[in-house]
Amino acid sequence: QQQVKQSPQSLIVQKGGISIINCAYENTAFDYFPWYQQFPGKGPALLIAIRPDVSEKKEGRFTISFNKSAKQFSLHIMDSQPGDSATYFCAASNRSSGSARQLTFGSGTQLTVLP
Amino acid sequence: EPEVTQTPSHQVTQMGQEVILRCVPISNHLYFYWYRQILGQKVEFLVSFYNNEISEKSEIFDDQFSVERPDGSNFTLKIRSTKLEDSAMYFCASSAPGLAGGPTRTDTQYFGPGTRLTVL
User: What is the block-wise mean pLDDT of chain B (120 residues), using blocks of 10 residues?
Assistant: 91 97 92 92 92 90 94 92 96 78 63 96
**Could you say which of A32, A46, A102 has the minimum Cβ distance to residue B45?**
A102
Query: B49–A106: do the CB atoms touch at under 8 Å?
Result: no
* CA separation for the pair B116, B37 (Å, rounded): 9
Chosen for mutation from A102, A104, A105, A110 (greatest number of chain B CBs closer than 10 Å) is: A102
- Output the CA–CA distances (angstroms, integers) from residue B17 to A58, A77, B64, B86, in the order listed: 48, 45, 11, 11
CA distance B107 to chain A (A): 7
Q: pLDDT for A88-106, tens place per residue?
A: 999 998 866 556 678 999 9
* CA separation for the pair A9, B52 (Å, rounded): 38
Query: Tens of pLDDT along chain A (115 residues)?
Result: 578 999 999 999 999 999 999 999 999 889 899 999 999 888 999 999 998 889 999 999 999 999 999 999 999 999 999 999 999 999 998 866 556 678 999 999 999 999 9
Alpha-helix residue ranges (DSSP H) falling in chain B: 104-107
Burial class (CB in 10 A: 0-12, 13-18, 19+), A17: middle
